Amino acid sequence: MTLPMTLSLPMDSVSAAVRLADAQGLQWQPGQVGEATAHGEIFASGDEGAGAALALALALDRQRAVRAGPSADPLADTPDERMWLWVQDARAIQRSGRPYRAGLPEGLRHRLIHVAVKTAQDALFALEEGLRCRDLAFVIGEITGNPRALDMTASRRLGLAAERHGVPLWLVRLDARRDLSSARMRWEVASAPSPAPGWNAQAPGTQSWQAELFRARRHPPGQWILREDGRLVAEKVGAAAELQRRREGGAKPRPG
């Protein structure tokens, strides 16, 4: 049987699978459209703004990709002026604050509808109502911890609503452990040191995140340094280290 064997694959075979995926173009990269990007989950700490920022960056990235993609309406030259929804539960507001209009990305500032709810049940209700409204561009949710209401069923409901109505959802899970979920792409994100800006090397630069895609339906897992710089820039983490390991692996005989 092959199943037990795949479960006990040695580390080297995993990297081989990654290399294969790489060769076939299955690796995740920015600028992707499709159902797989319609429902994402982002795990982040409540003491930094990285989770919500990555959700916004992915939403913007998807929007740009849709506009540039083959299914875009060639006559549509007006910008997308649909509203978008940001749902926060009370603990998320307390821990990490409310959205601040002047700090939002330029094109999204005037289109935000913010929903402040007390409990996770209300947050799930608001998210689902938002996903069923096709007049919304996308929906972002912030839920703290691992509430009982947010189980596999609730997550599946959200995913189905998002796919049926074409309204993408990014659910930011603050200070949560990785529980069961039906999200198509699951990220873990933290802030990363930013590149030094040219005019003042002492100042913080373009916002950067260290993001790990630990579960995705279409893509093998991987780690990237992501940067929002007019477009979403992704740098593979440990590309140099990977190369190094390949060389060593080629030199030495494989164990087993």
Partner 1 sequence: MLAPSPSRRILAIWLCRLALDRWRLGEGLAAGEGADAQPLALIAETAHGPRIAAANAAGRAAGAQGGMMLADARTLCPELAVAASDPAGDLAFLEHLAGWALRWGPWSALDPPDGLLVDVTGVAHLFGGEEALLADARAAFARRRFAVRMAIAPTAGAAWALAHHGPDGAILRSGDDPAQRLAGLPVAALRLDEDVLTVLRRLGLKRLGDLDAVAREALVRRFRNRRSASANPLLRMDQLLGRVPEPLLPVLVTHAPLVQRRLMEPIRHRALLEQVVADLAGDMERVLEGAGQGARRLELGLWKVDGEVVVRRVEMAAPSREAAHLAGLFARRLEDVDAGFGIEMVRLRSPWCEPLALAQGDIEHAAQERGTSLAACVDRLTVRLGHDAVRRPILFASHIPERAQRWQGPLEPEKTSQGTFDFHCRPLKMLDKPEQISVIYETPDGLPKRFRWRGETHDVLRSEGPERIAPEWWRERGAVRLRDYYRIEDAMGRRYWIYRSGVVGDGRGGVPAWFLQGLFG
Q: Which residues bind partner 1 (CB under 8 A)?
A: 47-50, 52-54, 56-57, 83, 93-94, 96-104, 110, 112-117, 122, 125-126, 129-130, 132-136, 164-165, 190-194, 196, 200, 202-204, 207-210, 228
Q: In the bound complex, what is the minimum distance in angstroms from residue 224's beta carbon to partner 1?
A: 14
Q: In the bound complex, what is the minimum distance in angstroms from residue 112's beta carbon to partner 1?
A: 6
Q: Which is nearer to partner 1, 146 or 207 (CB)?
A: 207
Phi-psi region of 72 (alpha: psi -120 to 50; beta: other; left: phi over 0): beta
Q: Which is nearer to partner 1, 33 or 172 (CB)?
A: 172
Q: In the bound complex, what is the minimum distance in angstroms from residue 161's beta carbon to partner 1?
A: 9
Strands 208-216 and 222-228: antiparallel
| Angle of helix 11-23 versus helix 239-251 axis, rounded to 10 | 120
- The DSSP line for 19-67 is HHHHHTT-S--SS--SGGGSEEEEEE-TTSSHHHHHHHHHHHHHHHHHH
Return d(Cα 19, Cα 235) in angstroms, integer: 16
Return d(Cα 144, Cα 82) in angstroms, integer: 27
Q: Which is nearer to partner 1, 6 or 94 (CB)?
A: 94
Closest CA to 104 of 65, 153, 152, 140: 140
Strands 208-216 and 39-44: unpaired
Q: Which is nearer to partner 1, 161 or 181 (CB)?
A: 161
Q: Which is nearer to partner 1, 132 or 246 (CB)?
A: 132
Q: Which is nearer to partner 1, 130 or 222 (CB)?
A: 130
Hunting for tokens 């294969």 — which residue is that?
20
Q: In the bound complex, what is the minimum distance in angstroms from residue 212's beta carbon to partner 1?
A: 15
Q: Which is nearer to partner 1, 13 or 191 (CB)?
A: 191
Return d(Cα 40, Cα 55) in angstroms, integer: 9
Q: In the bound complex, what is the minimum distance in angstroms from residue 117's beta carbon to partner 1?
A: 6
Q: In the bound complex, what is the minimum distance in angstroms from residue 237's beta carbon to partner 1?
A: 13
Strands 112-117 and 83-89: parallel
Closest CA to 146 of 41, 34, 57: 41
Q: In the bound complex, what is the minimum distance in angstroms from residue 126's beta carbon to partner 1?
A: 6
